[in-house]
Amino acid sequence: MEIDIEKKCKSRLETTFMGVKLQNPVMTGSGCFAFGLEYMDYFNPNKLGAIITKGLTLEMRKGNNGIRIAETPAGILNSVGLENPGIDYFEKHILPEMNKYLNIPIVGNINGKFIEEYVELTKRLDKIEKIKILELNISCPNVKDGGMAFGANPEIARKVTGEVRKVTKKPLMVKLSPNVTNIVEIAKIAESEGADGISMINTLLGMSIDVKTRKAVLGNIYGGLSGPAVKPIALRMIHQVSQTVSIPILGMGGISNTEDAIEFFLAGASAISLGTAFFPNPMVALEVIEGLEEYCKNEKLNNISEIIGYAHSDNGIDYRKKLKLRK
Amino acid sequence: MYKSGINNGNYKCSGKKTGFLEDVTVSENKYLGADNYLMKVFSENVKKQVTNPKAGQFYMLKLRNHIRILRRPISLHSVNFKTGELEFLYKVIGKGTEELSILQKGSILNIQGPLGKGFDIYKKSENIIVIGGGIGLAPLKQLIKELLKYKENKNIIFIAGGRNKEAMNILENFLLDSKRVSTFICTDDGSLGEKLNIAEMLEKILKNNKNPDIIYSCGPDKALKAVNDIVNRKNILSQISMEERMACGVGACVGCSVETVSGMRKVCHDGPVFYSSIFYENRGEINGN
Ligand SMILES: Cc1cc2nc3c(=O)[nH]c(=O)nc-3n(C[C@H](O)[C@H](O)[C@H](O)COP(=O)(O)OP(=O)(O)OC[C@H]3O[C@@H](n4cnc5c(N)ncnc54)[C@H](O)[C@@H]3O)c2cc1C
Ligand SMILES: Cc1cc2nc3c(=O)[nH]c(=O)nc-3n(C[C@H](O)[C@H](O)[C@H](O)COP(=O)(O)O)c2cc1C
Ligand code: FES
């Protein structure tokens, strides 16, 4: 998919991500914003660039038992385990609500236990007009089958990306797990299998222990770490991956304010998404969007895309050329 | 069996604003003994009647220390619509509530809410039982106030339990001078009231009285479970207020989901108050842990 930023941008944040035009490059992290309507008391979600849905599966999933959220220094652990109502319920009850209230692109987050399930779900989502981008989650640390195991195994990652690619023409981004030794390898595989973009990072596998009960806090023992605590890792990985692939990256992991977001663009992300940051600050997305606009103005940028990959040794010039971005 | 009245439509969005973010001013933050505190804050939104918090609803209180990134869910203890004052009754159990406890008169605190669904108020009842254990007493002051608003509610039996006499200092603030409220106090060590737990107290009261129209309860998991067993056995209508670890408080993260006989429910959004009947088929797993 070709990336081409329109010459005359109305807003300095207007962007084209994986061929989809967005009013700004700020999205919501899967699983932290449900289906886009829960934060409506605080701001109008239509101000966002796009909304990424909670991870969807073919069948309804109950998720994991026991405590699912644990706070850790500058982060949280979650072991939700992909609780979601399944694609049928989504289409019947949630999609109509989204259609009613949301007029921005929706990204469908896809999960399966087997490759066949990923493929089947992709076919279903492919038919939904409202969904403009698909995000293939092969990185959830909280499910036993599929999930992270898929993203950590290069051969399975290759297979699932390739198979899903065959059944959809919608822009496809693959969400990478940071729980691997060589994230660049997996990113390259996704690109070679026809992914139009990479989204990274998912949560890092972690643990918390209650000293009183002497047991793990989470019912599922281990959980996924997110929030400010993971930001340096996310930045490093995006910096690495963006220098080796020529498809755009949706960056996430611990972004909680405008400065954090800018760091992600500088590291090589073409768009960013906010997750955990909504919990302490429901207004965070608006603040970041306004902050980015102001940053562009102050730094005399015509468009935020001008700084993508600037932290690379060549000031990101090669990367932007590869992405066919301006400057 | 009583129906919960909740359908599967937990994704329905009314488009009506219910929760607010607000900087409120602390007007009092008093130590009550046994790690319990009473905090009063002034809310412009309440004063202007922009929001109408109800018994059983809660607020997410923002901490200053950014290392602790989650807000802390605390129930509405009482609201005064005339003065715009909100009261929170809380127990210091960890670093977050400790941080709340050192706030002084004049401190600014960011609160998010009111959140969740509160208690259903019954308006014409012969007998109502309200049960609270420990810090689970917190939402019951407002509940009793709301029940008393209806003159047709004839008799409210209030069962209050705690560890010891000191822990029961929280009752000082309950203003239960109404003739329609009969209070029964019990403590684990018998230092105040009877030496019973709240479920045993309930059992005892039910022996001498006919079944109430409704029982409301809030307290530790174990106590709720025991109360639930009783109401289930006797087929009494009952609402319980539950606690779960929360991240978002608005239904966005599914961190607080619990399994019920009619599917998964989010404590923050579909609760924290539920009809006990929605747990009957999987009793023993009220809190999922
Ligand atoms: C809907 C609701 C209403 C509540 N109302 C009150 C109230 O009115 N008064 C009161 O004293 N307490 C109330 N609680 C419990 C209160 O939220 C916790 O005691 C408090 O969050 C503990 O925070 P901490 O930092 O002191 O403890 P820590 O153990 O240091 O907290 C670590 C993490 O665990 C979470 N956590 C710990 N215990 C609980 C718990 N019991 N419930 C939910 N999350 C917990 C914290 O929020 C935090 O994310 C309520 C809980 C819920 C869910
Ligand atoms: C409660 C919670 C649920 C999540 N659920 C999903 C999910 O269903 N699918 C997915 O791809 N990522 C999921 N994630 C990961 C986030 O989308 C994101 O990748 C991660 O949290 C890092 O970003 P953050 O630090 O900004 O939250 C979840 C994260 C959290 C905190
Ligand atoms: S706390 Fe997030 S859904 Fe309840």
In percent, the amount of chain B with pLDDT more than 70 equals: 90
- Bridge partners for B88 per DSSP: B39
- Looking at ligand 2, which residue's alpha carbon is closest to its atom 26? A275
Q: B73: CA distance to ligand 1 center in Å? A: 6
* Close Cβ partners of A213 (under 8 Å, ≥ 6 residues apart): none
- Looking at ligand 1, which residue's alpha carbon is closest to its atom 4? B74
Among chain B residues, CA nearest to A37: B13
Tens of pLDDT along A122-145? 999 999 999 999 999 997 666 666
- Bridge partners for B83 per DSSP: none
Q: Is B91 in the pocket of ligand 1 (CB under 6 A)?
A: yes
C-alpha count within 13 angstroms, C-beta hemisphere, residue A159: 13
What band does B11 get if pLDDT is binned at 50, 70 and 90? low
- Calculate mean pLDDT across residues B48-60: 96
The token pair that represents A166 in the structure block: 């065959």
The larger pLDDT score, comparing residue A94 to residue B15, is at A94
What pLDDT, on a 0 to 100 scale, did the predictor assign at position B5? Answer: 31
What band does B174 get if pLDDT is binned at 50, 70 and 90? confident
Tens of pLDDT along A275-319? 999 999 999 999 999 999 999 999 999 999 999 999 999 999 999
What pLDDT, on a 0 to 100 scale, did the predictor assign at position A144? Answer: 60
Overall pTM > 0.90: yes
The token pair that represents A50 in the structure block: 């796009």
Task: Assess contact for B104 and B114: CB atoms under 8 A.
Answer: no
- Angstrom CA distances, A227 to A50, A73, A290, A291, stand at 20, 9, 21, 19
Q: In this model, does residue A91 exceed pLDDT 70?
A: yes
Cβ under 8 Å to A: B residues 35-94 = 62, 66-71
- Please give the Cα distance from B133 to B126 (Å, whole number): 24
- Residue B6: how many CB atoms within 10 A of its CB? 17
Q: Is A230 in the pocket of ligand 2 (CB under 6 A)?
A: yes
Q: Based on the residue annotation, tell me whether A9 is a catalytic residue of this protein.
A: no
Q: In this model, does residue B119 exceed pLDDT 70?
A: yes
Chain A positions touching chain B (beta carbons under 8 Å)? 31-35, 37-42, 54, 62-63, 65-71, 73-76, 78, 80, 83-85, 89, 93-94, 97, 101, 219, 227-228, 276, 278-280, 282-283
Which of these is catalytic: A9, A32, A140, A296? Answer: A140
pLDDT, mean over chain B = 90
What pLDDT, on a 0 to 100 scale, did the predictor assign at position A280? Answer: 98
- Please give the Cα distance from B40 to B88 (Å, whole number): 6
Span between the terminal Cα atoms of chain A, in Å = 20
What band does B2 get if pLDDT is binned at 50, 70 and 90? very low
Tens of pLDDT along A178-230? 999 899 999 999 999 999 999 999 999 999 999 999 999 999 999 999 999 99
Indicate which ligand has the atom closest to the C-alpha of B138.
1
- Please give the Cα distance from A275 to A231 (Å, whole number): 12
- Residue B187: how many CB atoms within 10 A of its CB? 21
- Please give the Cα distance from B177 to B7 (Å, whole number): 39
Produce one character per residue of B19-39: b if its CB has 16 or more CB atoms within 10 Å, e if not.
bbbbebebbebeebebbbbbb
Give the DSSP H or E segment for A76.
strand A75-78
Q: What is the side-by-side strand order in the sheet with B20-33? A: B72-75, B58-61, B108-115, B20-33, B36-42, B85-91, B78-80
What band does B208 get if pLDDT is binned at 50, 70 and 90? confident
Residues of A in contact with B45 (CB under 8 A): none
The token pair that represents A148 in the structure block: 């992270």
Task: Assess contact for A284 and A61: CB atoms under 8 A.
Answer: no
- Angstrom CA distances, B273 to A43, A89, B221, stand at 26, 25, 14
State the best of B45, B51, B254 to mutate against chain A, taking most chain A CBs within 10 Å.
B254
Q: Which of A34-38, B157-161, B172-176, B247-251 has the lowest mean pLDDT?
A: B172-176
Residue found under tokens 């996430």: A252
Q: A31: CA distance to ligand 2 center in Å? A: 5
Interface contact flag, B70 A76, Cβ < 8 Å: yes
Ligand 3 first shell, C-beta below 6 A: B 246-249, 251-256, 266, 268-269
Q: In this model, does residue A239 exceed pLDDT 80?
A: yes
Q: In this model, does residue B9 exceed pLDDT 50?
A: no
Interface contact flag, B250 A282, Cβ < 8 Å: yes
In percent, the amount of chain B with pLDDT more than 90 equals: 83
* Close Cβ partners of B94 (under 8 Å, ≥ 6 residues apart): none
Q: In this model, does residue A7 exceed pLDDT 90?
A: no
Using CB atoms within 10 A of its CB, is residue A185 exposed (0-12), middle (13-18) or buried (19+)?
Answer: middle
B112 — contact with chain A (CB < 8 Å)?
Answer: yes
Closest Cβ opposite residue A69 in set B62, B255, B288: B255
Ligand 1 atom with the shortest distance to the CA of B256 = 53
Q: In this model, does residue B7 exceed pLDDT 70?
A: no
Closest Cβ opposite residue B21 in set A83, A84, A283: A283
Interface contact flag, A89 B8, Cβ < 8 Å: yes
Q: Report the greatest alpha carbon distance in chain B.
A: 53
Reduce the secondary structure of B52-109 to three states and give it as a string.
CCCCCCEEEECCCCCCCCCCEEEECCEEECCCCEEEEEEECCCHHHHHHHCCCCCCEE
pLDDT, mean over chain A = 93
- Residue B46: how many CB atoms within 10 A of its CB? 24
